[in-house]
Amino acid sequence: MKINLLIISSLFFILSSFAQHPDSLTRYVNPFIGTQEMGHTFPGAVVPFGFVQLSPDTDTIPFSINGKYNPEVYRYCAGYQYDDPTIVGFSHTHFSGTGHSDLGDILLMPIVGNLQLNPGVSGNPASGYRSSYDKSSEMAAPGFYRVHLDEPGIDVELTATIRCGFHRYTFPKSDSSHIILDLDHGIYNYNGKVRWAYIKVISDSLVTGYRITSGWGRTRYIYFAMAFSKSFTSYGFQDEDPLSYKGFWRKFNQQDNFPELAGKKIRAHFDFSTASGEEILVKVGLSAVSMAGALDNLRAEIPSWDFDATRRKANRAWEGELQRIRIEASEEQKVIFYTALYHTLIHPSIYQDVSGKYRGIDTDVHQAYGFTNYTVFSLWDTYRALHPFLTLMYPARTSDMVNSMLAHFDQSPEKMLPVWSHHGNENWCMIGYHGVPVIADAMVKGIRGFDASKALNACITTATNKHYTGVTEYMELGFVPEDKISNSASITLEYAYDDFTLAQLSDAVAKKGMVTDMVKLYAFGKGEVFMKRSENFRNVFDTTVGFVRPRNSDGSWKEPFDPLNTHGQGFIEGNSWNYSYYIPQDVPAMIQLMGGEDRFIQHLDSLFTMHLDDAHFAETEDVTRVGLIGNYVHGNEPSHHVPYLYNWTSQPWKTQERVQQICQTMYRNASDGLCGNDDCGQMSAWYIFSALGFYPVCPGTTQYAIGSPMVREASISLGKGKTLILKVNRQHEEDIYIQSVEFNGVNLDAPFLEHAELLKGGTLIFNLGPK
Amino acid sequence: MKINLLIISSLFFILSSFAQHPDSLTRYVNPFIGTQEMGHTFPGAVVPFGFVQLSPDTDTIPFSINGKYNPEVYRYCAGYQYDDPTIVGFSHTHFSGTGHSDLGDILLMPIVGNLQLNPGVSGNPASGYRSSYDKSSEMAAPGFYRVHLDEPGIDVELTATIRCGFHRYTFPKSDSSHIILDLDHGIYNYNGKVRWAYIKVISDSLVTGYRITSGWGRTRYIYFAMAFSKSFTSYGFQDEDPLSYKGFWRKFNQQDNFPELAGKKIRAHFDFSTASGEEILVKVGLSAVSMAGALDNLRAEIPSWDFDATRRKANRAWEGELQRIRIEASEEQKVIFYTALYHTLIHPSIYQDVSGKYRGIDTDVHQAYGFTNYTVFSLWDTYRALHPFLTLMYPARTSDMVNSMLAHFDQSPEKMLPVWSHHGNENWCMIGYHGVPVIADAMVKGIRGFDASKALNACITTATNKHYTGVTEYMELGFVPEDKISNSASITLEYAYDDFTLAQLSDAVAKKGMVTDMVKLYAFGKGEVFMKRSENFRNVFDTTVGFVRPRNSDGSWKEPFDPLNTHGQGFIEGNSWNYSYYIPQDVPAMIQLMGGEDRFIQHLDSLFTMHLDDAHFAETEDVTRVGLIGNYVHGNEPSHHVPYLYNWTSQPWKTQERVQQICQTMYRNASDGLCGNDDCGQMSAWYIFSALGFYPVCPGTTQYAIGSPMVREASISLGKGKTLILKVNRQHEEDIYIQSVEFNGVNLDAPFLEHAELLKGGTLIFNLGPK
């Protein structure tokens, strides 16, 4: 059943692609990749870096039941599972690929017939209305989604701009057609998550409102303005919160045609008579600032009722981004590559009104002066490859993102750079202060447009901030002690890496023009301090067992210790086996700690070849079996640089082999084609880099490690008229091993590339052979 | 006991007054008048028309217990009852004199010792901390309040600016001194009323935050910024909401020294070591817009730490307003008069940041262009005398208030002028569309500075708005039918009066320059329509019984009918006896309906002389026994014009007698000196007019009815250099009857004055005699 659906859907996808220009690259994007099982991507409409992700929700299982966490909710991080039989509506905000969730704001659902709430499928009461849908009718492309809802017999088409969603519903003949607006619906929803909501009917075709939610984003404001192409003949509200105090509003019948309602659990219905095949269009502007802001966004971005024009514009926006990397590869590889590129360019998301106003981390409204504000920073994931990819390809956006992080720092009461932030909220998910490597990477790679002294100050203040997990102990002991703080070994390793990048930032600031001598002297001194801190990985590496292991505050090692059985015992999203390789800032030192090159290679080989039994697999978070090679876990980020570590030994061919293996087996053109959460594009960014033959093992430095490219040829527009041409010479598909690499006619003598060199453009030739 | 406290307190009040300039009028203000029993005034610090009312809360009994309304809460509409033995803290917003309530925002309480919550007095769990206080230490003056809290041994002094409160606490020696900030506390509070709250500690002496509450104001935002004169050494939070989902914030200990918290039931404590007699000052800026707005307000209004300077400035502001009416009268009468004047100038309150930004009725933030925005419109009460008083004395503020009402109209989804609005909320309390007479009164009295066409449109749209109670039926039947809508007779009478004033407004617009011929023609037509509607009082007057009585939609009179037993049966805050006089727009017609002059006089006499038995008294809302003369109920507004009705007969001396009687018995210099709710100054404004010898029986016309003055002499500054001098010639105190009235040397031939004449200034001489 699952396979059949997959084939049908793929078929439609290909058929629909034929309509496009033959040079089109958007036709290679299959937004369904990752929408089944662990990928947690969504198939709906979004534009590059857009605030709005308008997508179908197949279900929104509650986050908690009777106050207890409900693990089933995890499947619905993006609101959608490809093989679900029903759809509950179309909401405007979704994360792409996360492993915890929120959003699902402002759900619309067209229905026909009576307004009785559907009791739901399988006893799930989470949503009000639900319809089965025709899987063969479902089509998704960049900036567009289409489906036929069976039960009301309605065609639904969706497209989007940065801040708006655009719906086109084709109704059957009925004098009881309705469009439902559900302000209670949400992803990772629970009773009480919506703190307050408001609807205001301005005219018979314009409605505004907002809601304030709690949850992962503790205080999140979403305002909307919604325009209908056809006047509704009547409307009404439901407020399911029996406890809400109505005051003197009770003198009105607020259920029917009364123009406003405030409450906790609100739904509205807008009623129409429709002819057979009649289209009703709905444009929805979103804002985190105000209803007026949402309306301004709507007026600015969708001034007409031309759905197809908006769809074309969304497509062109994607086309423009995708065309920056033109590859030669098999059709299947192109689908995988361009879908990965598509998933790489969704987050961070623009987070400000067209006026430049945005809601800051302190919940107040701010004006972005001189930069565009972004949100959705899943930094523990994305500092590794996604941000380095943006640093390479999108220097202006990266500068904006750095400015956004600095504004966050300024506004945060904790004086912290973001950890995992979204929609004006810090959710504190995961560990480390990985805003630092993102800023350091931007700085050392020459990106400007932000105040470097301020950036340095923000990074230092963050890295010495005693509010944050274990920083006090880390600064005192040189490691985070497990008896006081869990995940201590992971945290220690990541702090040490972050500190290294902070030292690089300090050095870059010390050398920079346009800062005072005082700043330079200060930066130089701080560089030394943090370079020393970057050695702290040594404090958690037990050379007697050859692994990183958690340590107690008295200096003793935590007992017992089984490196395979340490997930949750000193480590997070990984075990000691995986994390012991997490010293990207000093791979030679790691090799020495592991007993020298030979033993290191042996050790690394065994990671890929050992058998992980079911008990240990069960402890691995967020991944499917296909995401494993032995004990190597591609679905979790701490492993992402690991295949490239052979480059620091005499056997870089093993890097080439493993990278090819991962690219070929763990990225597939299928709804379940991702082996773990895409994590806001980090998994996809890993693929893009690796498919192009190089990878940033240590962001914050300018070095890329060479792997083994998947593409036959590529042309990468680097901006400012510079182009990097990749050529891959090989006889057979099986030729995956590098014989030599030439850059602008010169043979490389080591398997590394320099950022500044790449930026100049030119030709990079990979000569591949069978061994 | 009660009496003793009163004497002591009055003594302190007088003693403290001695320090002031002998010409000072603020020394005559006793803010305790009305703070006991029914007055519902507050004793705390406020400046004229200020947004902040910083005042002690002696209790805040819950609005509801287990979901059921708790009638005890009514005593605490202003958070304070004079004879309560304890104080729970000092909050920044209070209504003056209302009969339903809200506010009590941002409570501070200084304590010493441990932070254990006090279980409260008499089992009332409403508040966290509570102290008995030394009644003899309590002192209140315009813009200033002082008390000594017994249990911690702390002196508290409070003063205020328009948007800020200023606290001075004198602590005993302690290493455990604390200032509590309670964001859960509120007036008319209930579990869940606070929808969301937030605290952000910016430094060791600056804290910001906000809360969003529901209740009477359905969605009310209050932001604050709070600066301490001394750095706190530590701080902490309590969040009593056990259901709140903490997310990854749980990795922090948010109770101690963590710089932010969001939640539903939040308290904070800020900790100090204090020397004996050490002062700690706290300045609190308020805003309905944002935390940044609150901080801007604070910086603008209290730039220094000079408490006494702020207190002096508040006093000067009051002095400036009070000096506009200088009277000669007994010392006791001066206290009553100037306290009434003080209570008249509290509401409406300025409701915008210093930047001009304010939160509108649609909950969005707006900018006030070209006017100052006001809130707290208790219009059913205040259209009668308070607004006419402001129209006379404060034309610029009145113009601002009209503009504020027009902005409300623009922003309201219902397209209604305010009914009873506060803090960006329409609470829909009471009946009628009495924004219309306020605007009409301003217009016919020559106030400009607002768009007259727009005002006319807003009034017409309001008066034909089918969302509002009974308007559909009223327009169809000419009356509101009791079988469909309760309070139907009261509503019909008030709509008819409002319609009359709308006709006056239409006529004024039709005659005005600066509007187009089209507008004039339109206004002229509408004047005729609403003049006709103003006759609708006839449809509920049953001439067979001589009373107004409720009617059913089939035209039949509601049975049974006992005019004394009709409160809640067709009438609100009054019975048929009281309401049958409510035809101020056409008193001659009313006299005819009642059977001609003789029978009318007889009827009116009996109102004042009949005995109201206890059963009927029990049905009278909001008043004490002292507020009655027979069945005349001064504590409720529908009666306020009634004593003046004799002026339309041959026996105006009865008006003079009754007005004197009311002034002398129902306004006293005592904490229980008001006989009913002061209702945002309406009761007090009645007194001011009456004490000066005239009263606006029919606002929306330019006529004042002459009564009998209480003052010996008065000098009223009318602005633009015009002064009205009142002289009262009499031999004895008992000379209360008017022999003649001269205005600028001319004897009046009827007991009425014209607004335009008064405005010219000059001398008005009342010659009083014993009969």
Question: Contacts of residue B64 in chain A, CB cutoff 8 Å?
Answer: 245
Question: Contacts of residue A363 in chain B, CB cutoff 8 Å?
Answer: 198, 210, 291
Q: So what's the pLDDT on residue A232?
A: 98
Question: Contacts of residue B363 in chain A, CB cutoff 8 Å?
Answer: 198, 210, 291
Question: Contacts of residue A364 in chain B, CB cutoff 8 Å?
Answer: 290-292
| Minimal Cβ distance to B258: which of A244, A248, A467 | A467
| Minimal Cβ distance to A200: which of B67, B247, B413 | B413
- Residue B574's pLDDT band (boundaries 50, 70, 90)? confident
| Minimal Cβ distance to A248: which of B190, B252, B427 | B427
- Are A289 and A166 in contact, with CB atoms under 8 Å apart? no
Q: Is A428 within 8 Å of B249 when comparing Cβ atoms?
A: yes
Q: Is B212 within 8 Å of A195 when comparing Cβ atoms?
A: yes
Chain B: give the shortest CA distance to residue A579, in Å: 22
Which of the 8 DSSP states describes residue B117? P
Question: Contacts of residue B67 in chain A, CB cutoff 8 Å?
Answer: 243
* A:B CB pairs within 8 Å: 112
Residues of chain A below pLDDT 50:
1-18, 120-125
Q: So what's the pLDDT on residue A133?
A: 96
Chain B: give the shortest CA distance to residue A192, in Å: 8
Pairwise CA distance, residues B103 & B92, whole Å: 8
Q: Which residue of B has its CA nearest to A251?
A: B469
Question: Contacts of residue A195 in chain B, CB cutoff 8 Å?
Answer: 195-196, 212
Q: Which residue of A has its CA nearest to B223?
A: A364
Is the pLDDT at B14 greater than 90, yes or no? Answer: no
- Residue B67's pLDDT band (boundaries 50, 70, 90)? confident
Residue type, A292: A
Q: How far is CA B33 from CA B141, B336, B634, B670, in A?
A: 11, 8, 17, 5
pLDDT digits (tens, 9 = 90+) for B362-377: 999 999 999 999 999 9
| Minimal Cβ distance to A196: which of B219, B414, B427 | B219
Q: What is the mean pLDDT of residues B709-724?
A: 96
Q: So what's the pLDDT on residue B242?
A: 62
- Residue B244's pLDDT band (boundaries 50, 70, 90)? low
Q: So what's the pLDDT on residue B15?
A: 42
Q: So what's the pLDDT on residue B5?
A: 43
For chain B, report the end-to-end CA distance as a whole number of angstroms: 41
Question: Contacts of residue B216 in chain A, CB cutoff 8 Å?
Answer: 247-248
Pairwise CA distance, residues A639 & A628, whole Å: 11
Q: Which residue of B has its CA nearest to A69?
A: B245
Q: Is A64 within 8 Å of B262 when comparing Cβ atoms?
A: no
| Minimal Cβ distance to B247: which of A216, A243, A290 | A216
pLDDT digits (tens, 9 = 90+) for B39-59: 999 999 999 999 999 999 998
Q: So what's the pLDDT on residue A613?
A: 78
Q: So what's the pLDDT on residue A612?
A: 77
Q: What is the mean pLDDT of residues B500-507?
A: 97
Q: Which residue of A has its CA nearest to B260?
A: A413
Question: Contacts of residue B195 in chain A, CB cutoff 8 Å?
Answer: 195-196, 212
Question: Contacts of residue A215 in chain B, CB cutoff 8 Å?
Answer: 245, 247
- In 3D, which of A150, A48, A154, A143 has the Cα closest to residue A108? A154
| Minimal Cβ distance to B215: which of A212, A247, A420 | A247
Chain B: give the shortest CA distance to residue A71, in Å: 15
- In 3D, which of A393, A336, A378 has the Cα closest to residue A681? A378
* Concatenated DSSP letters of B584-600: GGGHHHHHHHTTSHHHH
Pairwise CA distance, residues A443 & A527, whole Å: 14
Torsion over CA: A103, A108, A114, A118 (sign): negative
Interface mutation target, options B249, B253, B260, chain A, most CBs of A under 10 Å: B260
- Residue B13's pLDDT band (boundaries 50, 70, 90)? very low
pLDDT digits (tens, 9 = 90+) for B581-598: 999 999 999 999 999 999
- In 3D, which of B320, B26, B47 has the Cα closest to residue B162? B47
Q: Is A248 within 8 Å of B362 when comparing Cβ atoms?
A: no
Q: Is B249 within 8 Å of A190 when comparing Cβ atoms?
A: no
Q: Is A190 within 8 Å of B245 when comparing Cβ atoms?
A: yes
| Minimal Cβ distance to A291: which of B67, B290, B364 | B364
* Concatenated DSSP letters of A250-315: GGS-TTBS-SEEEESSEEEEEEEEE-TTEEEEEEEEEESS-HHHHHHHHHHH--SS-HHHHHHHHH
Q: So what's the pLDDT on residue B622?
A: 65
| Minimal Cβ distance to B195: which of A196, A249, A414 | A196
Question: Contacts of residue A365 in chain B, CB cutoff 8 Å?
Answer: 290, 365
Pairwise CA distance, residues B18 & A748, whole Å: 95
| Minimal Cβ distance to B200: which of A215, A244, A413 | A413
Question: Contacts of residue B244 in chain A, CB cutoff 8 Å?
Answer: 214
Chain B: give the shortest CA distance to residue A75, in Å: 18
Q: Is A290 within 8 Å of B365 when comparing Cβ atoms?
A: yes
Interface mutation target, options B73, B196, B218, B234, chain A, most CBs of A under 10 Å: B218
Q: Is B290 within 8 Å of A365 when comparing Cβ atoms?
A: yes
Q: Is B262 within 8 Å of A218 when comparing Cβ atoms?
A: yes
Q: What is the mean pLDDT of residues B226-242?
A: 91
Q: So what's the pLDDT on residue A619?
A: 65
Q: Is A248 within 8 Å of B193 when comparing Cβ atoms?
A: no
Q: So what's the pLDDT on residue A5?
A: 43
Q: Mean of the per-residue pLDDT values for chain B?
A: 93
Question: Contacts of residue A193 in chain B, CB cutoff 8 Å?
Answer: 245
Is the pLDDT at B638 greater than 60, yes or no? Answer: yes
- Are A169 and A159 in contact, with CB atoms under 8 Å apart? no
- Residue B579's pLDDT band (boundaries 50, 70, 90)? very high
For chain A, report the end-to-end CA distance as a whole number of angstroms: 41
Chain B: give the shortest CA distance to residue A700, in Å: 27
Burial string for B304-334 (b: 16+ CB within 10 Å, else e) reads eeebeebbebbbebbbebbebbebebeeebb
- Which residues are CB-neighbours of A658 under 8 A, at least 6 positions away? A608, A629, A632, A643, A646
- Are B665 and B635 in contact, with CB atoms under 8 Å apart? no
Q: Which residue of A has its CA nearest to B429?
A: A248
Q: Is A362 within 8 Å of B291 when comparing Cβ atoms?
A: yes
pTM for the model stands at 0.94
Per the DSSP assignment, residues forming a β-bridge with B206 are B203, B227
Question: Contacts of residue B254 in chain A, CB cutoff 8 Å?
Answer: none
Question: Contacts of residue B198 in chain A, CB cutoff 8 Å?
Answer: 219, 363
Pairwise CA distance, residues B673 & B654, whole Å: 24
Q: Which residue of B has its CA nearest to A219?
A: B262
Q: Which residue of B has its CA nearest to A189?
A: B245
- Residue B3's pLDDT band (boundaries 50, 70, 90)? very low
Chain B: give the shortest CA distance to residue A103, in Å: 15
ipTM of the complex: 0.93
Is the pLDDT at B451 greater than 60, yes or no? Answer: yes
Pairwise CA distance, residues B474 & B431, whole Å: 13
Q: Is A245 within 8 Å of B215 when comparing Cβ atoms?
A: yes
Question: Contacts of residue A201 in chain B, CB cutoff 8 Å?
Answer: 413
Tokens of A593: 């700690």
